[in-house]
Structures are given as structure tokens and as C-alpha cells.
Structure 1
Amino acid sequence: MSFKTLDTEGPLRLVVAGAGGMGRAWTRNIQSSPDAELVGIADLFPASAESAAADTGIPGLATGTDAIELAQRTGAHALVNATIPEAHHPVTVAALNAGLPVLGEKPVAATVAEGLALAALAEHTGQLFMVSQNRRYHPALHQAKQRLAGLGAVGVVSVDFFQSPHFGGFRDEMASPLLLDMAIHQFDMARYLLDADPVSVSCEEYNPAWSWYAGDAAANAVFAMDGGARFTFNGSWCSPGHETSWNGSWRVSAERGTVLWDGENDPTAAPDEPYDPGQDHGRDIAGSLRQFIAALRHGSEPMGRVHANIMSLAMVEAATQSAAQGRRVAIDDVLDRSYTAAIANERDPEVLAVLKSWPSVREALSAKRSDSE
């Protein structure tokens, strides 16, 4: 299914919803892009929006508490949704229904059920909804994938992630801060490296005695993936000393060799073969923004389109369920329950019709994904 493109002159005019840390990161990246223009910042707290606007240095930058009203008032072409996860669904629904394409922060929504509803709404409106999994936009990650190309079938992908951030705020109070707020990045990168979706997961989470988090800040998860490969995640958010990069430390074991990547520098492969670095995807948020703009201008399929991204959130939801239930969880069970919930909760009859038209969740999602680009 295609999405509507824009045929307008000049930079893409954008409103950012959310004036927190991520919202401010987006405003900086929009200002740095020659192809984008920041025209407004929205936040439920007027003082936060005004403070973020002042920090941009843009004289008279528009602010407001209603992102859609602000977008309409400023003539914005699209919306960047940098609100908290619980607000991702309602803000994106309002934007898509108002005819605004959306570039959203991860996760796609607070639950897989909400993510499925947003995928159906994007189909119904024809508007692009892309999720920014910014870790995908790292040149070394793409180089690691290219180095795997000549090594045959991949059997094991493993990542160690050890950091000790003191965030304060909502993360310190979350039930599963590592799995819910961070691990989705590594889960999504594993899907990219393997060109595969998850089948099942066994997960255990726990909280070291010295942890400053209320919820479990450490976890081990083993995913069975399409094609038979295994992906293992071993991580902690309360491990000071000898910390890994924020991308983690990776080992990928294939039929004829191994690729190592520390998450920041160029990966190494043994044996070391020539490789084609492929397309330049840009880096981090700037890469997400660049691909979003290219998609809207030229109709090119972006990484992270809602249909492609939902499976990464399903990995998180399945992992937390596995840890809570003490058993292996099938991804299809999570998708089926989420689909049932999405249908039960949907109040828009046209979106409901789209959901009911899907032959299955996996078929609906896989028919519109471009993870391997």
C-alpha cells in the first residue's frame, strides 16, 4: 500500500509535539537540516513549550498546547511526535485524521494493540506514519550487516548491554525500565541484522540489590527467529564500570565466520572479506528525519514505517510477558491477543473495517515492510 506524498516547494514544515529531552533533540536536528523547517512546538505545559522555543533562538516561534491546532495554524506539512509513550496513540490518531503525516518516537505506541490500530488508521487515511528507531541509522550497523553477507547463514546474534544512567523521573518508577524503554533498540537492530522476525522468547528480568530503579533494571532474553537463528540479549541499566556503548556490544556467528561490533566503531569480521557499504542512511535522529522527508517527497519506502516497526514492540511485550509468567511466549500469541484487543477497542468504523480485512496480523504487517533496505 502506498502513502500520500507532498508536492510543495521549500523545506518540509514541521511541528514537534513534546518539549521534553527528546522533543528538544528533534528541534535541534530539524534546525540542522536544510530540507526541514521548525514552525512550532506543542506541549501540554505552556511554559515547557515556550522554554523549548526560546532555546531554539528562532524569533517568534509558535507554541501551543494542542499539536494539531498548532500545525494547522502554522501551515505545517507534518508532525514529529516526541510525547511520552502513553500519548503516542492519541496524538498520532489526531494527526493522521487531520491529514498530517507523522514521524514518531519509539515505541510505536504503549501496546501492540494500539500499534495495530495505528497501522490500520494509516492505511485508511493514506498518510505516512514512520517510527524513528534511531539506532538503525548508524553507519557501522549497516557495515556489520554488509560484512555478514559473505559469511553464509547466521546462527547466533548476541548483544551485551551494560550502562548505569541516573535518569530520574518516570524511568526510575517503571516496572520494567530496561525492557520497556531501552531493549527495543537492540531488539530492532537484531531484526535488521537478520532480516528476520521473532518466533518466540524466553526471558528473565531481575533487579540487582544496589539498583536505584523501582522496577527490574536487568534482563536476559533468548529469541527464536524466522529461519532458525537465535538472538540473545543480556543487559543491565545499573552496571557502573566498563560500560558498553549505548548500542551494546555485538557478536554475530555465521556459517563461515563471525562479525564483532562494539556498537560505535567499525565492525570486524573473521575472515575479513571485501564488502559493499551500500546506501548511506545517515546517522541517528538526523537519519530518521532525512528518510522521512525523502519518503514524503519521493514515495520511497522508509525503514520504520508503522507496519515494519510493530514487530519490534511485539518482542518487548512478549519478553515482559515471558518474564512475568516464567515461561516461553510465542510471538503469534501476543499478536493474536493484541489483534483481538485492537478490534474490541476500535471505535472508528472505517478503521475497524481495515483491521477486519486483514487475513492475519503477520500477513498484514509483512506485506508492507521494508526492513532490509
Structure 2
Amino acid sequence: MSGVEPVRLVLVGAGVMGRAWLAAILAEPGAELAAVVDLDAAAARRAVEEGGVPGVPVGTDAVELAQATGAHAVVDVTVPAAHHPVTTAALFAGLPVLGEKPAADTLARTLSLVAASEATGVLFAVSQSRRYHPHLFAFREQARALGTAGALTTEFFRAPRFGGFRDEMAHPLLLDMAIHPFDTARFLLGAEPVSVYCEEFNPPWSWYAGDAGAAAVFEMSGGTRYSYTGSWCSPGLETSWNGSWRLSAERGSATWDGENPPVLGLADGAAVTVAAAQDPGREIAGALREFLHALRGGPAPMGEVHANVLSLAMVEAAVESAATGARVRIDDALERAHAEALREEDRPEVAEVLRSWTSVRPALAAAGGAVLR
């Protein structure tokens, strides 16, 4: 696409998050809202009317409406179970997709989407929106300056009452929220997960059907340990939505409260130079901006699906560990998901790509550096 032409986007999903994305699209100078899609066409109509753009077309089929309106790409803000069919249909229609996390509701279906992106040559990026925070980028520069990391910890304690599907999920904290700090840990450390031991629990006062609390310890590449403790039914003294962080490294430590500038503490006699951090924009607005830049020929977004898979693998392996009481190797979880993806796949082109992977992690690394159209 040209550098001046607005990117025409079809927004799929008119719920609470869909409306947040609608506002972000309308506020982004490089984007134009082409249409809004929802299985409930009346909900889509209410969203555009309440968003102040009543003339925007609405419908129930994303590909059909994209073709009718001349849209260039899709923003998928459906429930996780719908991510796979919506994204697959868009990719095979030649439409790049920016999707809400998680990439799909299972790791196996996420690998299917990776293969669909490769088979079509069309970009699929996942909005890990909490990476887009200037203070997080500053925290990462501090982490780099402190040298070899020994331990990274996150505490996350909130008490949201969402209602809806989250209240009925089997693993609401791990499946719907923990992917953010898990992904952030990869980003901060520049390291990948090796294994995890996790326990889940649900306090007696919890309003969630599934376990709303969890504690997990990940071994990361290079030997660093990443520890996560969280609860989604913890009223009082709540942490930031980004959690509260502490890094212990060879030249000192750094902390971040999730909102304000990070704090650096050096070991006695240590001297470090911390590079200036870039401003990636804030949350979904930052993710949208980076996606649009990629469509205009820029580098692949941070959340390009090959690069995003291991964040969801951390979640799925943590759930497995909590269920079995055993330490789970991330590569084992990847290989089991790969086998499941092959069993489930009904598109020959996607199955062919999946069969070409002799091992999942190397396949992700080999293809992930490519900039897809």
C-alpha cells in the first residue's frame, strides 16, 4: 500500500472490546473504518451509531463485507473460539489480519493459523497490546544494561467483575489474562520459555466458575527463572493491569509498578549505560499503528503470529502443569499441539505446511523473520 492511502479496515466483533477497537480505528489517521461485522447485525449497527459513524456498513460476514467495501484488512475482536475461523477465512481471501489475543482458543488452532499465514503469504499479527507502553520499553533497556538476568517476577492482583464468558471459563486468569505478562516476560528478557511448573486455585469468595488464581515458575532460555503470581478476585491494594515487576540481574535490580517509570538499583560499584527507549504508542492504538506500518512495507509487527506462538504455549503448558501436577516442557506442548493441528486440519494447503515442519520451534524461527504482505 502507498504511504498516504488510509488502510480500510473491517472490524469483526461489536462487543465491549470491539467498541474500544472501533474508537482506536476512528482515532488513527492512517486507518479508515470500512465496515463492522458481528453475528448480531443489530449489535454492529448499535456500535457504529454509538461510535458516531452511522453510515458505516454493517453485516455478518467479514470476507463478504470486505469485498463489498474494498477493505484492505481485518481487525478480529471476536471471542477466542471464533478467532480461528474468522482469521482463516480472511487470510484465504487475501486479507491481512490483526487479531485480539489469544491468536486462537487452543495452541493447536494457533499453529493452524501460523500454517495458514505461510500457505497464503498473508500477514496475521496478534495484538499483545500491553507490550505497547513507553515505560515497559524503558524497563527493557534497563534489563539489557543490567546484564545477565537471574530472576524476573510478576505480581498481578485485581478484582474485575466482567460478567459474560470470562466468569464461566475453566481457567479465566491463565487463559484470558496471564498471556499478557507471559508475553511481556519474553519481551523483557529476550529469552524463550523452556519449561513450567504451575498451580491453580480458586479462593472461596471467587465469583469465577474456574480457577481465578495461579502461581507459575518458568525456566527461560539461558537459565533465568520467571515467576508469576496472580489472582483475578483479589479486592483491595490492586496492582496495575500490567502487574508489578522485579528483575534481579548481575549488575543490580530494576522494578516497575506497571504504570510509572521503572526504577533502577545498581550493585555496589556497578556502572551501566541505559539506552534511550522508543515510544511504541499505548496499548491497542500502538498495536494498530504498527500493523498499519507493516502493511505499508515496514517490518513485521512484534505480534506477528510466528513470534507470538510461544506466549500462548506458555499459557497452555501452565494449564497442563496445573492439571497434572508435573513440570511441563514447552517443546512437548508444542509437539502435542502440532499433532493435534494435523488431525484437525481440513484445508489441504494448511495441512501441507504443517506436515513440512519436522519440529515446531525451529519451524517458527525459520519462517518468523519473513515480512508477509
TM range (shorter): over 0.9
Q: Does 1:296 align with 2:323?
A: no
In 2, Cα distance between equivalents of 1:168 and 1:250? 28
In 2, Cα distance between equivalents of 1:132 and 1:339? 23
Which 4+ stretches in 1 moved above 4 angstroms? none
Residues 184-223 of structure 1: pairs in structure 2 closer than 5 A: 184-223=179-218
Residues 309-348 of structure 1: pairs in structure 2 closer than 5 A: 309-348=308-347
**Secondary structure of the residue that 1:13 maps to in structure 2?**
strand
Q: Does 1:71 align with 2:66?
A: yes
Aligned with 1:122 (options 113, 117, 142): 117
1:19 and 1:41 in contact (8 A); partners too: yes
Q: Does 1:145 align with 2:140?
A: yes
In 2, Cα distance between equivalents of 1:369 and 1:357? 15
For the structure 1 residues 335 and 9, does the alpha-carbon distance in structure 2 shift closer, same or farther, using more than 3 Å as the test?
A: same
Paired amino acid for 2:324: Q
Paired amino acid for 1:350: E
Paired amino acid for 1:12: V
Paired amino acid for 1:235: G
Aligned with 1:39 (options 25, 28, 34): 34
In 1, Cα distance between equivalents of 2:4 and 2:220? 44
Paired amino acid for 1:365: L
In 2, Cα distance between equivalents of 1:334 and 1:245? 30
1:112-156: per-residue Cα shift (whole Å, max 9, x none)? 111111111101111000000000001111000001122110010
**Counterpart residue number, 2:277:** 278
In 1, Cα distance between equivalents of 2:145 and 2:274? 8
**Counterpart residue number, 1:55:** 50
Paired amino acid for 2:313: A
In 2, Cα distance between equivalents of 1:363 and 1:74? 39
In 2, Cα distance between equivalents of 1:101 and 1:280? 25
**Counterpart residue number, 2:304:** 305
For the structure 1 residues 260 and 9, does the alpha-carbon distance in structure 2 shift closer, same or farther, using more than 3 Å as the test?
A: closer
Aligned with 1:169 (options 164, 169, 173): 164
Paired amino acid for 2:199: E
Q: Does 1:349 align with 2:348?
A: yes
2:84 and 2:110 in contact (8 A); partners too: yes
**Secondary structure of the residue that 1:316 maps to in structure 2?**
helix
Paired amino acid for 1:105: E
Gaps of 5+ in 2: none
In 2, Cα distance between equivalents of 1:59 and 1:222? 49
1:237-256: per-residue Cα shift (whole Å, max 9, x none)? 01111000000000011011
**Secondary structure of the residue that 2:161 maps to in structure 1?**
coil
1:308 and 1:368 in contact (8 A); partners too: no
Identity %: 60
C-alpha RMSD over aligned residues:
1.2
**Counterpart residue number, 1:363:** 362
In 1, Cα distance between equivalents of 2:173 and 2:216? 12
Alpha-carbon offset, residue 8 of structure 1 = 7.5
Q: Does 1:159 align with 2:154?
A: yes
Paired amino acid for 2:294: A
In the alignment of these two chains, the number of paired residues is 365
In 2, Cα distance between equivalents of 1:150 and 1:9? 38
1:59-115: per-residue Cα shift (whole Å, max 9, x none)? 411000111111111111000000000000000000001110000000000111111
Alpha-carbon offset, residue 278 of structure 1 = 3.3
Paired amino acid for 1:313: L
Alpha-carbon offset, residue 367 of structure 1 = 2.4
1:198-234: per-residue Cα shift (whole Å, max 9, x none)? 1110000001111111111000000011110000000
In 1, Cα distance between equivalents of 2:172 and 2:256? 25
TM-score by length of 2: 0.96
2:143 and 2:189 in contact (8 A); partners too: no
Alpha-carbon offset, residue 347 of structure 1 = 1.6
For the structure 1 residues 31 and 81, does the alpha-carbon distance in structure 2 shift closer, same or farther, using more than 3 Å as the test?
A: same
In 1, Cα distance between equivalents of 2:111 and 2:129? 21
Paired amino acid for 2:349: E
**Counterpart residue number, 1:3:** none
In 1, Cα distance between equivalents of 2:76 and 2:136? 25
